[in-house]
Amino acid sequence: MKILFTCGGTAGHINPAIALARLFQFRHQGCQVLFAGADNGMERTLVPHEGYELRTVHVNTIHRAWKWKDIKHNVMTVVTLPQARRQARAILDEFRPDLVVGTGGYASYPVVKEAARRGIPTAVHESNAVPGLTTKMLSKVVDRVMVGFEDSRQHYPHPERVVVTGTPVRRDFFNDTRREARQKLGLADGKPMVLSYWGSLGADVMNHYMADFIAEEVGEGCPIHHLHGAGRNYAWLTGELGRRGVALTKGGDVEVREYIYDMPLVMAAADLVICRAGASTISELTAIAKPCILVPSPNVTNNHQEKNARVLEQHGAAVVLLEPEIDGKRLYGTAKELLADRDRLTAMSKSLTELSVTDASEEIYQTLIALLK
């Protein structure tokens, strides 16, 4: 068996493909895997790091603005398409795959489309609630479109080809119950725990909000346990809190980290998660049914984070706040209200469970295996 995975752009596109590659190789000894991605994308680092060979095609992004520089960029993107097609054909000629799977990113387009033209079984997986440009175009030619939510089916021209599989989540998110995770973190009292973190896009604004959030809770005597991942703003945030006279002691109720390396553990311990609404994050929250406040990044293509968040909101599974409409005090007030309403938190958890797919990796695996029969 030979499987070609094509993906790129973000870790949210790459990691599901790697998880699937490992599953196929575990279940089929001798299964050969090759990755295809962009020659300037994150996959150039992540894929080889996981031990897989990567072949690249030259693709550019599409800008949706109408300024002269954006029009010029898009013209160059069109000009380079023939080169990408030639590179895609060369990869398929050399590897001769039995199955081609795209998991997002512009590099998927020329590879999956050429494979479909040749009659090779093809599939694409879309983690976001609303399809991106690549998935939307490929959905017209592939054998299967795999999506994260039932609500996503309506966005595709051939719903009979759409299968709701969910999005793969790392197995270590299922290792600990809330009680076990709290014990490992040394949380012996009855205070609820809040986990907050932001992605790199727009994190500056949100970490400014978190300075007010943390100042408010410390001023009230720390009624909750709170762990915040500040990322690249760690030095600024801790410095700003110090300038305000907000003392954070080691082992205290409020902790600010630069990075949260044990995310599965701390998310399991949390009663409420405050975060962005990227596809991978949404999948993790639904998989372990964690009530959440979602603040979608306004800086992503096609506003897909808000569209992801609205799916959860419509099912009563999340509270959605828009970045331009809030501040740190409102964010803290909303968190306090939710934590004080145990019935609502329980209802949110139930709704998240109903939205989740029990084992997304298995669902995707069975869908792909069926294409090979």
Nearest to 279 by CA among 158, 131, 150, 137: 131
The answer to whether 281 and 296 have CB atoms below 8 angstroms apart is no
pLDDT band at 141; cut points 50, 70, 90: very high
Q: What are phi and psi of 107, to 5 degrees?
A: -65, -25
- 128 labeled binding residue: yes
Interatomic CA distance for residues 217 and 7, integer angstroms: 42
Which residues are registered as beta bridge partners of 319?
Answer: 293
* Better pLDDT: 211 or 168: 211
Distances (CA, A) of 206 to 46, 131, 213: 27, 26, 10
On the 0-12 / 13-18 / 19+ scale of CB atoms within 10 A, 371 is: middle
Which pLDDT score is estimated for 171? Answer: 80
SS3 153: helix
* Better pLDDT: 10 or 45: 45
CB neighbour burial string for 120-135, b if at least 16 within 10 angstroms, e if fewer: bbbbbbbbbbbbbebb
Interatomic CA distance for residues 70 and 63, integer angstroms: 6
The answer to whether 318 and 295 have CB atoms below 8 angstroms apart is no
pLDDT at 65 over 80: no
pLDDT 10s digits, 152-197: 888 998 888 999 998 888 788 999 999 999 999 999 898 999 999 9
- Using the Cα atoms of residue 321, residue 325, residue 329 and residue 333 in order, give the sign of their dihedral: negative
pLDDT band at 61; cut points 50, 70, 90: low
- 196 labeled binding residue: no
pLDDT 10s digits, 276-321: 998 889 989 999 999 999 999 988 877 889 999 999 999 999 999 9
Helix axes 203-219, 234-243, angle to 10 degrees: 40
Interatomic CA distance for residues 112 and 92, integer angstroms: 10
* Better pLDDT: 83 or 125: 125
All residues at 6 or more sequence positions from 131 whose CB lies less than 8 Å from its CB, including other chains:
139, 152, 155, 156
Structural Rg of the chain based on CA atoms: 22
CATH topology of domain 172-355: Rossmann fold (3.40.50)
pLDDT at 72 over 90: no
SS3 207: helix
pLDDT at 234 over 80: yes
**Token pair for residue 26?**
């575990």
pLDDT at 236 over 70: yes
Nearest to 19 by CA among 1, 33, 40: 33
Q: What is the DSSP string of 329-371?
A: HHHHHHHHHHHH-HHHHHHHHHHHHHHS-TTHHHHHHHHHHHH
Which pLDDT score is estimated for 58? Answer: 84
SS3 80: coil
Mean pLDDT for 222-240 is 94
Mean pLDDT of the chain: 90
Domain coordinates of the chain in residue numbers?
2-166+358-371, 172-355
Mean pLDDT for 238-258 is 91
pLDDT 10s digits, 252-274: 899 999 989 899 999 999 999 99
Which pLDDT score is estimated for 80? Answer: 65
The answer to whether 127 and 32 have CB atoms below 8 angstroms apart is no
pLDDT band at 203; cut points 50, 70, 90: confident
Interatomic CA distance for residues 234 and 217, integer angstroms: 18
Classify domain 2-166+358-371 at the CATH class level: alpha beta
Mean pLDDT for 206-227 is 95
Nearest to 215 by CA among 193, 189, 238: 238
Interatomic CA distance for residues 180 and 39, integer angstroms: 44
Nearest to 149 by CA among 373, 322, 370, 351: 351
Q: What is the DSSP string of 51-62?
A: T--EEEE-----
pLDDT 10s digits, 83-114: 789 999 999 999 999 999 999 888 899 999 99
> Which range is least confidently modeled, 53-57, 63-67, 94-98, 198-202?
63-67
In the DSSP assignment, the letter for residue 10 is: S
- 200 labeled binding residue: yes
- 260 labeled binding residue: yes
Distances (CA, A) of 295 to 57, 171, 198, 292: 34, 26, 9, 10
Interatomic CA distance for residues 130 and 115, integer angstroms: 24
